[in-house]
């Protein structure tokens, strides 16, 4: 598991290679990495169908642990105990307002 801070989300809808419609959410995040000075940034896509099985759906500014399945795919979010929602930076707050 790794701990990430959710800094943005984007609803996504596209047609897959099999011609089926795929809906989901891109989660944009930052996290600490021992090989990076400062913070690392990344993006995690989860289909709406799979996201409905998650036990928890984070809000902007929240720190969560990502649980991965044996294939390396995100399988759940767990809230970071004791930390809860982490305040957004001014730039993150402005992005949230749109």
Phi first, then psi: give them for residue 34, nearest 5 degrees.
-65, -20
Is position 97 within any domain? no
Query: How far is residue 76's CA from residue 1's CA, in Å, rounded to a whole number?
Result: 10
**What does the pLDDT read at residue 1?**
78
- Global confidence as pTM: 0.77
Tell me the per-residue pLDDT of 13-27, one tens digit each, with 9 for 90 and over.
Answer: 999 999 999 999 999
Here the CATH number for the domain that contains residue 66 is 2.40.50
Residues paired with 4 in a beta bridge: 64
Is position 68 within any domain? yes
Is position 26 within any domain? yes
Number of domains in the chain: 1
* Containing structural domain, residue 62: 2-85
Is position 95 within any domain? no
Give the DSSP per-residue string, the chain: -EEEEEEEEEEEEEE-TTS-EEEEEEEEEEE--TTSSS-EEEEEEEEHHHHTT-S--PPTTBEEEEEE-TTS-EEEEEEPTTT-BPPPPHHHHHHHH-
Is position 94 within any domain? no
Tell me the per-residue pLDDT of 32-90, one tens digit each, with 9 for 90 and over.
Answer: 999 999 999 999 999 999 999 999 899 999 999 999 999 999 999 999 875 445 555 56
């Amino acid at each position: 598991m790794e701990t990430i801070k959710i800094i943005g989300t984007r609803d996504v809808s596209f047609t897959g290679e099999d011609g089926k419609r795929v809906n989901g959410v891109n989660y944009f995040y930052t996290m600490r990495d021992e090989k990076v000075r400062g913070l690392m940034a990344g993006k995690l896509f989860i289909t709406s169908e799979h996201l409905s099985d998650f036990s928890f759906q984070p809000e902007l500014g929240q720190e969560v642990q990502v649980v991965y399945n044996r294939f390396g795919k995100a399988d759940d979010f767990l809230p970071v105990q004791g930390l809860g929602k982490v305040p957004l930076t001014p730039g993150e707050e402005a992005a949230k307002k749109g």
